[in-house]
Amino acid sequence: MSAARRPLKSLGQNFLVDGNIIDKIIDSAHLVPEDAVLEIGPGRGALTELLVRQAGRLVLVEYDHALAAALKRRYQDDPRITVIDGDILAVDLEAILGDSESRWKVVANLPYNISTAVLFRLLDVRNRLSRMILMLQKEVGDRLVAPPDCPDYGVTTALLGLWFDMRREFLVSPGCFHPSPKVYSAVLSFVPLTVPRAAVGDEAVYRQVVKSAFAMRRKTLINCLKASELAPTEELRRILAECGIDGQRRGETLSLDEFAALSRSLSHM
Ligand code: SAM
């Protein structure tokens, strides 16, 4: 594919140029010929070339019009491949993933500036997915797999962790890309769970509890929850006591099970 135009920083265009890393990413996807694969941001096609050989069906969503056009030309004779010239945050993902009976795999070297937004988008369509292999900025990956009470533990850990088994597969150094980013990257695998890791009652309440617990990291849990207006203060105290959680703790010390217990009680009010 043409490499004439300079990579666009605004679109997070750090193209993979290390064949060994490309192979490792594809291996981690555990592809079989029946697989339907969504690739986000295929760019110049470093991963796509191998996906085409191993997957049964492939949908590519690329925001850069010139690169999308080049991919369309390249794969115009292959009916298994659909190229969508669009923004992954704006396309109708449900419709795309509805177009196959089997569940989908997602493979992507994500543009770092939108990676968290993409993760939340994928969380919403988790029941259409069987496995995801995503390259993220190392720090974002560290947060996803962090244990409670560690500085990296945060909203994404608790929200994505409820529905996915997440594992860091390997680290990738800046020199594996062109142009080289300033930071290290990490490739993570995500396997969706069929039931959530813990019963949370109303999932919207769970999201609210988690977001408020981390909204003010220096404040105590009770103060964070009070600010969230999830329930009157006395009710919050009662629920915390009922769950055996000390309101003077900081939100970041709560395990996923403790967030779930709080959410269950608040959902049943
Ligand atoms: N997959 C290629 C590789 O590994 O060499 C390119 C990866 S590069 C880090 C990110 C790609 O995502 C670029 O091709 C960029 O144009 C594309 N992109 C950026 N924002 C996007 C968006 N909102 N939706 C879809 N693709 C996007």
What is the domain count for the chain?
A: 2
Under the banding of pLDDT at 50, 70 and 90, the label for residue 4 is low
Q: What mean pLDDT comes out for the span 189-209?
A: 96
The predicted structure's pLDDT at residue 99: 77
Q: Do residues 174 and 222 share a domain? A: no
**Residue among 28, 38, 62 whose CB has most ligand 1 atoms within 8 A, to mutate:** 62
| Pocket test residue of 22, 25, 39, 63 for ligand 1, highest count of atoms within 8 A of CB | 63
Tens-digit pLDDT profile for residues 52-85:
999 999 999 999 999 999 999 999 999 999 999 9
Any atom of ligand 1 within 6 Å of the Cβ of 263: no
Whether 1 shows a pLDDT value over 80: the answer reads no
Please check whether residues 247 and 142 belong to one and the same domain.
no
User: In this structure, are 215 and 102 located in the same domain?
Assistant: no
User: Which of 170, 192, 214 is at the close of a domain?
Assistant: 192
CA pair distance 90, 113, nearest whole angstrom: 15
Per residue, the 3-state secondary structure of 54-115, as one string, reads HCCEEEEEECCHHHHHHHHHHCCCCCCEEEEECCCCCCCHHHHHCCCCCCEEEEEECCHHHH
The string of pLDDT tens digits covering residues 142-176 is: 999 999 989 999 999 999 999 999 999 999 999 99
Would you say residue 3 has pLDDT above 80? no
What pTM, to 2 d.p., does this model score? 0.95
Parent domain of 219: 203-267
Q: Is the domain of 93 the same as that of 22? A: yes
CATH of the domain at 151: 3.40.50.150
